């Protein structure tokens, strides 16, 4: 069952508490290994029973990241892509729900020949099949698998057991476990405490897994005696106790892990050469620009999930990438769309130099988004609308320029007489919510001499989607005649992908999600241009 190639398997588990940053550690290690010339991918195993994160509330789980092949996945896959500059796929995110769904489907088809279906071996075999499938798909040297949740959680047990079995499948030289843990600081005692880590490692040992490396999240430096104590009680070499102090930026973490020699410890344990130094010149150049900006701008992000910034993780990271490219610090001002109206919109946006109206679903906060867009259009404030943000821009234009006062989207008003945004034909009659939207990468053709074309520098692009509703082409002629142009069109379906207002400094709406393709080494061109336009607006307004 194990991969026939000599792929190395690294597992990242978490102890003591969740949200320690396993995804960032996994992505940082992968970056360092990739920078040494190894081909690496990362996979996330999530212990919840949802089949995928597509139906999860953004308040609970943050954004749903969409891959090129249309998989709705955990937001950690966004980190993997942004750090490694490679695409992930359906195979890179697997949930307990999908594992059980696959096993039950096979059982219903009679694949188990009437045997009693059990957690061991059937569920664990399915977990291992998913781990090996990633390695086999693209012939990777190293597969890093992040186990979601916390060691000791009841729902993580089948994953931990599968990891234990992998060691015996692939052999000890092709297998490594990194346990990310917390070393809390007790202020009253003035001490760092190792006991929670000792307990977490003991739980792993009870499951038959000895961690090879401990990565210790801490707010204070780890003194040598603490490292010795951890090494002694947790059965690891002292040089495999790695300090992970809180960083100013997640993009500092690869260099911090390099300083702690995490990559060298991993390569030594896996018997891989570590003579080649990691090539991190571009990464360091990016960090240099990020930390030494020449300019500063304020961008309003108008959305309805702003209480949890992770709901817009890819957007905020795209601003970091585009800001560095423009040597400009982007301060994001979070504005709740439910709190915006025509009376207060001018004061809310008085200190910003550009506005992004965020994606989302449902009726809540729509009128606030429309009031925001009207202000941006009339006051010539740089505007960027993504997915629902683009749809709101079209509705606002139809209402206030075309005079169709009842113009709306059938997502908000089913019986509207002017459905400017409507349900796609193939979406009508669908009752299941999960995985049924227009998902993944689709082609788009750009008109020349447009803002979008200036950004991309080419006419044929591919971008990722996640939506059900589309621009209704019945209104296209009237809207274009009034000054809003469809500058990007899907060549197969004729559906509108990008709208612009040409006599505006920067007014662009996209039906797709450009933020999903922005990476450290390839900032998304639309974000780069939007930041540039906002900076130009600031310079112009200050000179007046």
Question: Is there a single domain that holds both residue 324 and residue 266?
Answer: no
Residue 129 has pLDDT above 80, yes or no: yes
């004061």: which residue's tokens?
A: 347
Confidence band for 467, pLDDT divided at 50, 70 and 90: confident
Q: What is the DSSP letter of 494?
A: -
Residue 515 among the catalytic residues: yes
Question: Is there a single domain that holds both residue 353 and residue 236?
Answer: no
pLDDT (0 to 100) of residue 310: 85
Say if 461 falls within a structural domain. Answer: no
CA–CA dist 279, 360 (Å, integer): 39
Q: Is 491 helix (H, G, I), strand (E, B) or coil?
A: coil
CA–CA dist 279, 36 (Å, integer): 6
Question: Is there a single domain that holds both residue 277 and residue 409?
Answer: no
Of the residues 387, 470, 497, 537, only one is catalytic, namely 387
Of the residues 504, 513, 524, 537, only one is catalytic, namely 513
**CA-to-CA separations, 533 to 292, 455, 500, 519, in angstroms, rounded:** 20, 11, 14, 20
Q: How many angstroms from the chain centroid is the CA of residue 58?
A: 12
Q: Annotation-wise, does 388 bind a ligand?
A: yes
**Tokens matching residue 529:** 């241009």
**Is omega for the bond preceding 121 within 30 degrees of 0, making it cis?**
yes
Give the helix/strand (H/E) hosting 543: helix 525-543
Residue 435 has pLDDT above 50, yes or no: no
**CA-to-CA separations, 76 to 30, 38, 61, 82, 497, in angstroms, rounded:** 13, 21, 11, 10, 27
Question: Is there a single domain that holds both residue 270 and residue 363?
Answer: no
Q: What is the pLDDT of residues 215-250, one digit of tens each?
A: 999 988 999 999 999 999 999 999 999 999 988 899
Give the helix/strand (H/E) hosting 73: strand 72-73
Taking Cα atoms as reference points, which of 272, 284, 279 lies closest to residue 35?
A: 279
Q: Annotation-wise, does 455 bind a ligand?
A: no
Residue with the bigger pLDDT between 280 and 308: it is 280
pLDDT (0 to 100) of residue 2: 47
Query: Between vectors from CA 512 to CA 511 and to CA 517, what angle results, nearest 5°?
Result: 155
Residue 513 among the catalytic residues: yes
Confidence band for 430, pLDDT divided at 50, 70 and 90: low
Q: What is the pLDDT of residues 21-71, one digit of tens each?
A: 899 999 999 999 999 999 999 999 988 888 877 767 666 667 889 999 888
- Rounded to 5 degrees, φ, ψ at 231 are -60, -45
Say if 441 falls within a structural domain. Answer: no
Domain boundary among 235, 256, 283: 283
Q: Annotation-wise, does 112 bind a ligand?
A: no
Residue 153 has pLDDT above 90, yes or no: no
Say if 492 falls within a structural domain. Answer: no
Residue 334 has pLDDT above 90, yes or no: yes
HSE, CB side, 13 Å, CA atoms: give it for residue 111. 11
Q: What is the pLDDT of residues 8-23, one digit of tens each?
A: 999 999 887 777 889 9
Q: Annotation-wise, does 356 bind a ligand?
A: no
Question: Is there a single domain that holds both residue 200 and residue 324?
Answer: no
Residue 387 among the catalytic residues: yes
Question: Is there a single domain that holds both residue 85 and residue 14?
Answer: yes
Domain boundary among 283, 315, 340: 283
Say if 61 falls within a structural domain. Answer: yes
Question: Is there a single domain that holds both residue 355 and residue 380?
Answer: yes
Confidence band for 538, pLDDT divided at 50, 70 and 90: very high
Question: Is there a single domain that holds both residue 187 and residue 269?
Answer: yes
CA–CA dist 395, 379 (Å, integer): 18
Q: Annotation-wise, does 497 bind a ligand?
A: no
| Whole-number average pLDDT of the chain | 90
Q: What is the CATH number of the domain that holds 97?
A: 3.40.50.300
Q: Annotation-wise, does 195 bind a ligand?
A: yes
Q: Annotation-wise, does 247 bind a ligand?
A: yes
Q: Annotation-wise, does 171 bind a ligand?
A: no
> In percent, how much of the chain has pLDDT > 90?
70
Say if 528 falls within a structural domain. Answer: yes
Q: Which of 106-115, 162-171, 482-491 has the lowest mean pLDDT?
A: 106-115
Residue 409 has pLDDT above 90, yes or no: no
Q: Annotation-wise, does 154 bind a ligand?
A: yes
**CA-to-CA separations, 409 to 114, 186, 336, 413, 432, in angstroms, rounded:** 51, 54, 20, 6, 20
Say if 457 falls within a structural domain. Answer: no
> In percent, how much of the chain has pLDDT > 70?
95
Q: What is the CATH number of the domain that holds 509?
A: 3.40.50.880
Q: Annotation-wise, does 229 bind a ligand?
A: yes
Domain boundary among 283, 305, 335: 283
Question: Is there a single domain that holds both residue 138 and residue 83?
Answer: yes
Q: Annotation-wise, does 8 bind a ligand?
A: no
Of the residues 81, 126, 243, 515, only one is catalytic, namely 515
Say if 288 falls within a structural domain. Answer: no
Question: Is there a single domain that holds both residue 226 and residue 309?
Answer: no
Residue 433 has pLDDT above 80, yes or no: no
pLDDT (0 to 100) of residue 434: 47
Question: Is there a single domain that holds both residue 279 and residue 328?
Answer: no
Q: Annotation-wise, does 19 bind a ligand?
A: yes
Say if 446 falls within a structural domain. Answer: no
Q: How many domains does the chain have?
A: 2
Q: Annotation-wise, does 269 bind a ligand?
A: no
Task: Read off the pLDDT of each residue in 159-173 and give the average, rounded to a whole number.
Answer: 94
Q: Annotation-wise, does 360 bind a ligand?
A: yes
Q: Annotation-wise, does 146 bind a ligand?
A: yes
Question: Is there a single domain that holds both residue 387 and residue 318?
Answer: yes
Question: Which domain range does residue 417 map to?
Answer: 293-422+473-484+498-543
CA dihedral 237, 238, 242, 243 (to 10 degrees): 160
């Amino acid at each position: 069952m194990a991969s026939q190639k000599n792929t190395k398997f690294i597992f990242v588990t978490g102890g003591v508490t969740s949200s320690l940053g396993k995804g960032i550690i996994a992505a940082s290690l992968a970056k360092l290994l990739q920078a040494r010339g190894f081909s690496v991918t990362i996979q996330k195993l999530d212990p919840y029973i949802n089949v995928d994160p597509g139906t999860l509330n953004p308040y609970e789980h943050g954004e749903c990241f969409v891959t090129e092949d249309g998989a709705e996945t955990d937001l950690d896959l966004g980190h993997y892509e942004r750090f490694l500059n490679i695409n992930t796929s359906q195979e890179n995110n697997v949930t307990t729900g999908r594992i059980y769904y696959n096993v039950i489907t096979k059982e219903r088809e009679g694949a188990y020949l009437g045997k009693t279906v059990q957690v061991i071996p059937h569920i664990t075999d399915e977990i291992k099949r998913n781990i090996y499938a990633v390695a086999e798909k693209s012939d990777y040297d190293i597969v890093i698998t992040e186990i979601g949740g916390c060691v000791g959680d009841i729902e993580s047990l089948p994953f931990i057991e599968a990891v234990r079995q992998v060691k015996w499948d692939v052999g000890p030289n092709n297998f490594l476990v990194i346990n990310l843990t917390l070393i809390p600081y007790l202020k009253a005692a003035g001490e760092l405490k190792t006991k929670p880590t000792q307990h977490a490692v003991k739980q792993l040992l009870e499951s038959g897994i000895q961690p090879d490396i401990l990565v210790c999240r801490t707010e204070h430096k780890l003194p040598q005696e603490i490292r010795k104590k951890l090494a002694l009680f947790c059965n690891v070499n002292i040089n495999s106790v790695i300090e992970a102090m809180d960083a100013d930026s997640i993009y500092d973490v690869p260099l911090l892990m390099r300083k702690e020699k995490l990559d060298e410890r991993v390569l030594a344990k896996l018997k891989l050469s570590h003579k080649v130094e990691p090539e991190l010149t571009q990464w360091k150049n990016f960090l240099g620009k990020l930390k030494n900006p020449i300019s500063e701008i304020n961008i309003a992000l108008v959305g309805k999930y702003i209480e949890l910034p992770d709901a817009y993780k890819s957007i905020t990271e795209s601003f970091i990438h585009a800001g560095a490219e423009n040597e400009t610090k982007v301060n994001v001002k979070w504005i709740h769309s439910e709190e915006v109206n025509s009376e207060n919109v001018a004061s809310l946006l008085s200190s910003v130099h550009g506005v992004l109206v965020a994606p989302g679903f449902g009726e809540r906060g729509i009128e606030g988004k429309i009031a925001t867009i009207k202000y941006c259009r009339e006051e010539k404030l740089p505007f960027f609308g993504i997915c629902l943000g683009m749809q709101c821009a079209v509705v606002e234009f139809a209402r206030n320029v075309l005079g169709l006062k009842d113009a709306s989207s059938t997502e908000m008003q089913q019986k509207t007489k002017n459905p400017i945004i409507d349900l796609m034909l193939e979406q009508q009659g669908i009752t299941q919510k999960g995985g049924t939207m227009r998902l993944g990468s689709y082609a788009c053709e750009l008109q020349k001499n447009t803002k979008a074309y200036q950004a991309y520098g080419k006419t044929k692009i591919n971008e990722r989607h996640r939506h059900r509703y589309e621009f209704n082409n019945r209104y296209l002629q009237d809207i274009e005649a009034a000054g809003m142009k469809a500058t990007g069109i899907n060549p197969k379906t004729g559906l509108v992908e990008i709208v612009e207002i040409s006599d505006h400094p920067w007014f662009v709406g996209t039906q797709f999600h450009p933020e999903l393709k922005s990476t450290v080494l390839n900032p998304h061109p639309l974000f780069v241009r939007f930041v540039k336009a906002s900076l130009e607006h600031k310079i112009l307004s200050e000179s007046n």
